[in-house]
Structure 1
Amino acid sequence: MTQRTFIRPLQGIIPPMITPLLGENELDIPGIENMVSHLLRGGVHGIFVLGTTGECTNISYGLRRDLIRKTCEMVQGRVPVLVGITDTSVEESISLAQAAQAAGADAVVAAPPYYFGLGQPELEVYFRRLADALPLPLFLYNMPSHTKTMISQEVVMKLSEHDNIYGLKDSSANAVYFNSMVYALRNRSDFSLLVGPEEMMAASVLMGGHGGVSGGANMFPGLYVDLYQAAKDRDMEKVLELQEMAMEISANIYNLGTYGSSYLKGLKAAVSSLGLCDGYVASPMESFPDDQKRMIAQKVRSLKAFKFYGAGAKNINPEYFK
C-alpha cells in the first residue's frame, strides 16, 4: 500500500480513541464504526489508536491488528491515523508497526518500555534503534506515571534530529517540562509537541504547543476542536468559556471512585451512555457496576458540553435509566 504523507508539524486534536469491545477477545465492530464517524464529524485532525485510553497493554495482539485495520478502513485517509506500538519487546513493536503500515496508518507512537526503568542514555539508544527499524514515522510518548521513566529534555532534543522521529506526545502533566520543550524547539517548525492531559491543552497551545491528544474528544470531539482553535486564535473569551466545559468533564466523569483506572472506566461508561459503543473494559480492569454506570450517564446529561455538543452522538442509552 502506498503510504500517505501529512503536513508537519502534525497539529490539532488527535483523540486517543477508546477500543470498543464486546468481551475479552471480541471487538465491537459497529462501535468502532460509530466512534470513527463520530470523531470525524467532530472535526478532529487525526485519530490515535492503541494509546493508554485505547487499553493498549490489555488487549491481545490479534485484536490490536484487527483494530488497526478496521480503523484505517473506516478513516479512508481523511485524517492521519497514529498507532501505539509501545511494548517491552522491540520486535513486537516493529511487528505492530509493520501491520500498521500494511493497513494504511500514517505514523506510530511509542513510550519507553515499561518494566525495567531505563536510564537516559539507554532511552536514547532504544528510540534511535526503534526509529531506524520502523517503516513509519515515530512520535515519542512521554508517560512517566505508567512507564516509571521520564524522557528528559536533553534526550528529546537529540532524538528530534532523527529523520524518522516527528514529534513528542507529553503526558507527564508537568507544565514546566512542556513549556521548556516548546522554548527549546521554538525554531523547529517540523517537530510536533502535543500534550496528553486535556485540562492543559488550551494552555499548552497558547504557549506554542501544537495541540492535544484529548481523551474527552471521544465524547465531544467538537468541544476540543473548538477549544484548540480558540487557543490558536488567541480568542481568550472563547477559551475561558470552553475550558470551563472541559474542566467540568474532568471533574465529573473521570473521578468516580478511588480506582487507578477511574478515568478509563468513566470515559468508557460515558461514551457507552451516548449510544456510541459497548462500554466493556478489558481485564485486569473491570467496567463500573450498573449503578455507577447510571451515575455516569446522569452526569453526562448534566454537562454543559452535552447541551452544546451532544447532538453529534446518538441518543442516550435508555437502559442506563431503568
Structure 2
Amino acid sequence: MSKISGCFVAIVTPFDENENLNEQALRRQVERQVSCGNGVFCAGTNGEFYTLSFAEKVRVAEICVEQAAGRVPVLAHIGEISTHQTIALGKEIQKLGVAAVSAITPSFIACSQDELIAHYRRVADALDVRLYLYNIPARTGNTLQPETVRTLASHPSIIGIKDSEGTQASIDGFLTIARERDDFDVLVGPDSLVLHGLKNGAQGSISGLGNIAPQTLNRIWTSFSKGDLADAEAAQERYSALRKELYAHGFPPSMVKRALRLAMPEVGASRGPALVSDAANDAILPISKAYAEAVG
C-alpha cells in the first residue's frame, strides 16, 4: 500500500450547548480542512477523545470518512487504557474506511517497555488496518523508548509513529529508526517542529493548531515539497508564533478550541471539566483574530 504523507489536522470535535456531538458542525470542519488540502485526524487529543464515549468515537470517525469522501485521507485515534478496549474500538473503526489508526500508550497504568511491546503487538495482530504508535508521555505517563519502537517497527501492520513528546531530540530519535527501513515513518506532533521533521525525513505531521490556521500548516508542507524552503520557513515561523502566543494561556486543546470558537462559534466549548478563564478568554480573542484562517 502507498505511504501516508502530508499534513493532517487533529480536528476538534464540535459540541452543542448541551455538550452533545454537533454532527453538522463536524462535517463543516472536515470540509474546511479538505478545502485547504489537509488530511483529517479524528478523535485525537484536540478532538477531546478523553471525553468521548465509545459510540461517539465511532460516530466521529464515520462522519469524517463520509464527509472527506476520499478527497483526503482520514486517520482515527483508537487508544484506550486497556489493550482489550483498544482492540474493540479499533475493530469498529477499521470498518469505516480510515487510512490508518493510531493508539497512544495506555494511561493511568505504569507500563514497562516489555508491556508496551506486548500491548502494541496484540493490537496490531488483532486489526486489519494499519497502525501508528502514538508517543505523548506528558499525558499518558508512559514513554515509548527508541529501542522499543525499533522492535515494534518490525511488525508488518505498524507503519510509523506520531511523536508528541515535544522535543526535537525525541523526534530525531524516531527519525533515525525511520531512516533504517522503508516501511516505518514518523508523523510530527509538535506544532513548532513540523518543518524540522520534514527536513529530516518525516512523512508529515498531525497538528492541533491546524484547526485555527489550516492554510499556514498546509503552506509549510506544500512549500517544502516544492523546494521553496524560504517560504516554508516563513510559514513555520508564523505557526510557531501562534503556538507560543496561544499555549501560554492554558491546556493546549482547550486553548485551540476556544480560539476556533471565537472565529466559528458553532464548534462549541470543550466538555467539562475543562474551563477557560475570563482572563484567558480576553487574551485569546486577539490571537484568534490575528491567526484564524478559512473561516468564511
Structure 1 and Structure 2 fold alike (TM over 0.5): yes
Q: Provide the residue aligned with 2:175 in structure 1.
A: 182
**Is 2:273 aligned against 1:284?**
yes
Native 8 Å contact 1:30 1:277 kept in 2: no
Aligned-partner Cα distance in 2 for 1:158–1:172 = 19
Residue 129 (structure 1) aligns with:
122
Aligned residue for 1:82?
Answer: 75
The residue type equivalent to 1:313 in the other structure is V
- Asked if the contact 2:163–2:188 (Cα under 8 Å) also holds between the matched residues in 1, the reply is yes
Q: 2 CA distance for matches of 1:116 and 1:149?
A: 8
Cα distance in structure 2, aligned partners of 1:47 and 1:290:
31
Mapping of residues 256-275 of structure 1, within 5 Å? 256=249, 259=250, 261=251, 263-275=252-264
Give the SS at the match of 2:182: coil
Native 8 Å contact 2:189 2:206 kept in 1? yes
Identity %: 26
Counterpart selection for 2:54 from 56, 61, 72: 61
Structure 1 residues 39 and 172: CA distance shift in structure 2, 3 A: same
CA contact (8 A) 1:21 1:28 kept: yes
Rounded to whole Å, the distance in 1 between the matches of 2:45 and 2:234 is: 28
The yes-or-no answer on 1:155 pairing with 2:148 is yes
Distance 1:98 1:276, change over 3 A: farther
TM value normalised by structure 1: 0.86
Provide Cα deviations, 1:2-30, integer angstroms capped at 9, x if missing partner: xxxx621x111011111111156511122
Instruction: Supply the AA of the counterpart residue of 1:26.
Output: N
The gaps in structure 2 that reach 5 residues or longer are none
* Residue identity matched to 2:290: S
Secondary structure of the corresponding residue to residue 36 of structure 1: helix
Q: 1:301/1:157 Cα in 2 relative to 1: closer, same or farther (>3 Å)?
A: same
Aligned pair in 2 of structure 1 residues 88, 23: CA closer, same or farther (>3 Å)? farther
Paired residue type of 2:255: G
Q: Which residue identity is paired with 1:163?
A: P
The match for 2:2 among 3, 7, 17 is 7
Which whole-Å CA distance do the structure 2 matches of 1:183 and 1:229 have between them?
24
Residues 1:297 and 2:285 aligned together: yes
How far does the alpha carbon of each residue in 1:102-140 deviate from its partner, in whole angstroms, 9 at most, with x for none? Answer: 222222111111011111111111111111012311100
1:1-322 to structure 2, matched below 5 A, reads 7-8=2-3, 10-23=4-17, 26-44=20-38, 46-256=39-249, 259=250, 261=251, 263-275=252-264, 277-286=266-275, 288-289=276-277, 292-303=280-291, 306=292, 310=293, 312-314=294-296
Moved more, 19-28 or 74-83: 19-28
The whole-number CA distance in structure 2 between the counterparts of 1:217 and 1:209 is 18
SS of equivalent residue, structure 2 residue 10: coil
Separation (CA, whole Å) in 1 of partners of 2:66 and 2:168:
36
Aligned residue identity for 1:77 = G
| 1:151 shift after superposition | 0.6
RMSD of aligned Cα (Å): 1.9
* 1:15–1:47 CA contact under 8 A, matched in 2: yes
User: 5+ residue gaps in structure 1?
Assistant: 1-5, 315-322
Q: Give TM-score, length-normalised by structure 2.
A: 0.93
Asked whether the equivalents of residues 260 and 288 of structure 2 are also in contact (C-alpha less than 8 Å), the reply is no
Cα distance in structure 2, aligned partners of 1:290 and 1:77: 41
